[in-house]
A = this chain, B = another copy of it.
Amino acid sequence: MKFEAVTIKDIAKALGLSTSTVSRALRDSYEISPETKKLVLEYAEKINYHPNPIALSLKERRSRTIGVMVCEIANSYFSQVINGIESIAQLHGYNVIISQSRDSAGRELQNLQYLTSRSVDGLIISVSSETKDFSYLQELHDRGMPIVFFDRIVDAIETHKVITDNFKGAYDATQHLAQMGYKRIAAICNTITLSIGKERLAGYKAALKDAGLDYKEEMVRTCEHGGMLASELEEAVASLFAASPAPDAIFAAADKLTTGCLQALRNRGLSVPGDVAMVGFSNSELTGLLNPAMSVIKQPAFEMGELATDLLLELIESKRPVTDYQTRVLGTEIIIRDSCPPVI
């Protein structure tokens, strides 16, 4: 007992027609008589015919499938982005294949090769924080594969990119802490090999400066693995509080870092904002319930997914080289959950 699908051939045989006639009738071609059309369509409906998309893909050299590469699905931010991607893809009759790098450059490369050998029509990618060699992506792009980067983009590759205003998000967060009166504001960041790491660190620095606070390197901790390893955060927090004037506030520069930091603080018996204040990037729906623990910077994740997909589909459907590639910057939102006047 197997799942046997009905093909165009079955219809042709049953109706005493040729496959091409059936094919054309189904596609409502002008060169088929109304009667034949009706006959075919009704019979197709009756036996529940559906065209085999694989055969179509082979013929049309397109799979109507887009590949998505993120470091982790089970992360509110990424799952919200995927949600957005899926909605747009669905709208245009595209399937979405999802792959996780788990922030390992090796896995990322392997999955990428797999995805592209699986004939996806295009890729939406947020690169792993471990990745330093972008030659495979570059080659893919050079060979004409439509690619849209989001969040963790590759600066060097000239294609569409969708990011949030990382500088401003970090700036707002830090400024907010400064306005609350905190003086020793630490930062927990991603590596600056990632553009998001760089920009958010810059936003943090700028806000410190504008608030008249000194930037001190020893107040910044970098997490190589983006907080995927709990130990990273434990160490970062431990070393921050080992310093003689311990920080009175922390800015966490990414979702994973925010939650990991909260957890690490809790493990050390430190409360937020009792012992140390905190503002961080976070897209979890539950931060809304953490009140009054902290304010958060929220990224328009769903919209980013939608936008990235729109751009990718445009790239896919107009098969021309990307000369007019663009970087779209979406604003972040700061959600204030403490007594400070909102930042404009």
- When distances are taken between beta carbons in the complex, the residues of chain B under 8 Å from A321 are 1
Instruction: Please tell me if the beta carbons of A119 and B320 are within 8 angstroms of each other in the complex.
Output: no
A194 at interface by CB-CB < 8 Å = no
A106 at interface by CB-CB < 8 Å = no
Contacts A86-B98, A86-B99, A95-B115 known; list 17 others, CB within 8 Å: A1-B144, A1-B320, A4-B143, A5-B118, A50-B113, A50-B116, A50-B118, A52-B58, A53-B118, A54-B54, A55-B58, A65-B97, A90-B111, A95-B114, A95-B119, A98-B98, A290-B290
Given contacts A58-B55, A286-B290, A291-B266, contact A143 B3 (CB under 8 A): yes
Given contacts A2-B144, A144-B3, A289-B263, contact A73 B83 (CB under 8 A): yes
In the assembled complex, the Cα of A73 lies from the Cα of B302 at a distance in Å of 11
Quick one: which of A96, A114, A289 has the most chain B CB within 10 A?
A289
Stretch at the interface among A25-33, A74-82, A153-161, A179-187: A74-82
**Please, what's the 1-or-0 string for A281-311, where 1 marks a CB less than 8 Å from any CB in chain B?**
0001111111101000000001000000000
- When distances are taken between beta carbons in the complex, the residues of chain B under 8 Å from A266 are 289, 291
In the assembled complex, the Cα of A76 lies from the Cα of B80 at a distance in Å of 10
- When distances are taken between beta carbons in the complex, the residues of chain B under 8 Å from A259 are 285-286, 289
A248 at interface by CB-CB < 8 Å = no
- When distances are taken between beta carbons in the complex, the residues of chain B under 8 Å from A262 are 289
A-B contact pairs, 30 of them (CB 8 A): A1-B319, A1-B321, A3-B144, A3-B146, A50-B113, A50-B116, A52-B58, A52-B117, A52-B118, A53-B117, A53-B119, A54-B58, A72-B83, A73-B73, A73-B79, A73-B83, A74-B76, A74-B80, A74-B82, A76-B76, A82-B98, A90-B99, A95-B97, A95-B118, A98-B98, A259-B285, A259-B286, A284-B284, A284-B286, A289-B290
